[in-house]
Structure 1
Amino acid sequence: MARFPRRRSSALTSPKPRTRTAVVRREAPAAPAAATPAETTAARSQKDSLGRRLRRGGAKNVMVMSVAAGLVGTLAIPAYAFAPGTDGIQFGATAETQLTKAAPQDVEVAEDVIAAPLSEDSYDAVSGEEIRAAEEAARAAAEAEAARQAAAEEMASYAAAASEYTPAAVYGSADPASVFAVAQQYLGVPYVYGGATPAGFDCSGLVQYVYAQFGISLPHSSSAQGAAGTQISLSEAVPGDLVVMSGHIGFYAGNGMILHAPYEGTVVRTQPIWTSDYWIVRI
């Protein structure tokens, strides 16, 4: 028979909540029903299939891990590990490789073979000073050419004027004495470049004008006039013969003297021949 605790006075103890205890009954698991032979065979087959899949998956994982480890190991191997030099047949040298290691060979070249000449590229550097010098030379050449053309034009104008004033032949025989007598008439006429009239003479213009009065036409050129006559020795020279030198001409006046039109600023005059580089020509 159950005993119940005695109740205490509410004045002495505080009230406590009432608790209820639930009693849970556990039922024992029911025993499995006995499997039939067909169900037992299917379960065993399913279990074997699951085991095989697990084993295959494990084998694949092992294979993947092995391949990965091989790749890592291959990459980690230094390059010299693959250099030839071992005794394996895979490292054997080919015949072509052996030829490159052969001793030096002699090559014979035929005697008629000509070696090709070697050429090298080159360049020239021009300084600013050289450029300025070239420009100055070109400028000077242009000025000289302009001066030459101006002189030629002036000469042509004098020649045209001289042709208008060329006298008719008034004298007979052009012997040296007669020629020299006519030339003396023009002493004191001023020198004029290209002049061939009594208004002004240059050296060849004087000779041309004097001989024109004897009916002898000479070009207005000292070299051409010297070539128009016959060269004679100095011992044969008489007044009236021509004294010819490089770039100049005049009449021989005897005793080593010359009658001529010298240069700009002077007049027709007689003076000693100042050079030994001359020759005598007779027209």
Structure 2
Amino acid sequence: MTAATAIVATLALPGTAIAPPANAESNASAEAVAQLQATASQEIELTAEEAVVVDATRAEFGATDPAALRRAQLAAERAAAAAAWRGPSVSDFLANPPYPNFSLDRVVQVALQYQGVPYRYGGATPAGFDCSGFVQYVYAQFGVSLPHSVSGQDAAGTRISRADARPGDIVIMPGHNGIYMGNGTFIDSPRAGGVVSVRPIWTDNYWIVRVGI
């Protein structure tokens, strides 16, 4: 009976209570683990309009497993955000950049304008950014075309030493990135439930990429 009770108690634990793998990198901080857990969450808040899109997607494809439903929900959220945004897009900026003369100092100023914008998976407008979408949107205003992916942005630039890093360069880490602010900080769009903000770089597993100059 005791064993059965223990099994039931284990099954009742929420997903975010599951411990990280034993072989996780030793330098992973609690915040990094929390980021992974937040990203893996199966919960998402939807407006009534987004819920209709998700229901239609589920009905069309007959998706029943949580992973497929999650993808449908994220697609609906991204579509709703794109529909809601009426300002310039990345492609608009690339066609007519408001800052044609590239400057790392100006990159910092532009990036700071978006503090408080919420994280949105797949987002690349001020209606909501994911990490690489935020970097892409800021750099597009200088006529610099970057792919919408961390690995693509890493490959698009030149890696430089941390000693040579300047505010406005791009901070790359496994699966995440942001814009360097100096003194061990960066500005990024962190994870579901977060907003664009300046914060310390929490891990030593990062490198600096320079593009534009």
2-structure distance, mates of 1:154, 1:146: 12
Match status 1:255 vs 2:183: yes
1-structure distance, mates of 2:81, 2:156: 22
Partner deviation per Cα, 1:167-203 (whole Å, 9 max, x = no partner)? 3301022232221111111112222222211222221
Structure 1 counterpart of 2:71: 148
Kindly indicate whether the alpha-carbon contact (under 8 Å) linking 1:208 and 1:218 is maintained by their aligned counterparts in 2: yes
Aligned-residue offset at 1:158: 5.4
Kindly indicate whether the alpha-carbon contact (under 8 Å) linking 2:104 and 2:166 is maintained by their aligned counterparts in 1: yes
Structure 2 counterpart of 1:234: 162
> Structure 2 unaligned runs (5+)?
1-63
Higher RCO (C-alpha under 8 Å, 6+ residues apart): 2
Match status 1:208 vs 2:131: no
Kindly indicate whether the alpha-carbon contact (under 8 Å) linking 1:239 and 1:252 is maintained by their aligned counterparts in 2: yes
Partner deviation per Cα, 1:38-62 (whole Å, 9 max, x = no partner)? xxxxxxxxxxxxxxxxxxxxxxxxx
Is the partner of 1:186 in helix, strand or coil?
coil
Kindly indicate whether the alpha-carbon contact (under 8 Å) linking 2:179 and 2:187 is maintained by their aligned counterparts in 1: yes
**Alpha carbons of structure 1 residues 211 and 161: separation in structure 2 relative to 1, 3 Å:** farther
Aligned-residue offset at 1:161: 7.4
TM-score after normalising by structure 2: 0.59
Moved over 4 A (4+): 152-164
Structure 1 counterpart of 2:101: 173
Kindly indicate whether the alpha-carbon contact (under 8 Å) linking 1:197 and 1:206 is maintained by their aligned counterparts in 2: yes
Is the partner of 2:148 in helix, strand or coil?
coil
Match status 1:192 vs 2:115: no
> Structure 1 unaligned runs (5+)?
1-140
Aligned-residue offset at 1:225: 1.1
Aligned-residue offset at 1:206: 1.0
Kindly indicate whether the alpha-carbon contact (under 8 Å) linking 1:243 and 1:252 is maintained by their aligned counterparts in 2: yes
Is the partner of 2:186 in helix, strand or coil?
strand
TM-score after normalising by structure 1: 0.45
Match status 1:271 vs 2:199: yes
Is the partner of 1:179 in helix, strand or coil?
helix
2-structure distance, mates of 1:223, 1:155: 21
What is the aligned-residue RMSD (CA, Å)? 2.5
1-structure distance, mates of 2:207, 2:110: 22
Aligned-residue offset at 1:165: 2.9
Kindly indicate whether the alpha-carbon contact (under 8 Å) linking 1:158 and 1:196 is maintained by their aligned counterparts in 2: no
Is the partner of 1:165 in helix, strand or coil?
coil
Kindly indicate whether the alpha-carbon contact (under 8 Å) linking 1:222 and 1:249 is maintained by their aligned counterparts in 2: yes
Kindly indicate whether the alpha-carbon contact (under 8 Å) linking 1:159 and 1:194 is maintained by their aligned counterparts in 2: no
Structure 1 counterpart of 2:12: none
**Alpha carbons of structure 1 residues 160 and 191: separation in structure 2 relative to 1, 3 Å:** same
Aligned-residue offset at 1:269: 0.6
Partner deviation per Cα, 1:198-226 (whole Å, 9 max, x = no partner)? 22222111111111111112221112111
Structure 1 counterpart of 2:147: 219
Q: How many residues align?
A: 143
Is the partner of 2:119 in helix, strand or coil?
coil
Identity level (%): 55
Partner deviation per Cα, 1:105-150 (whole Å, 9 max, x = no partner)? xxxxxxxxxxxxxxxxxxxxxxxxxxxxxxxxxxxx9432443355
Is the partner of 1:223 in helix, strand or coil?
helix
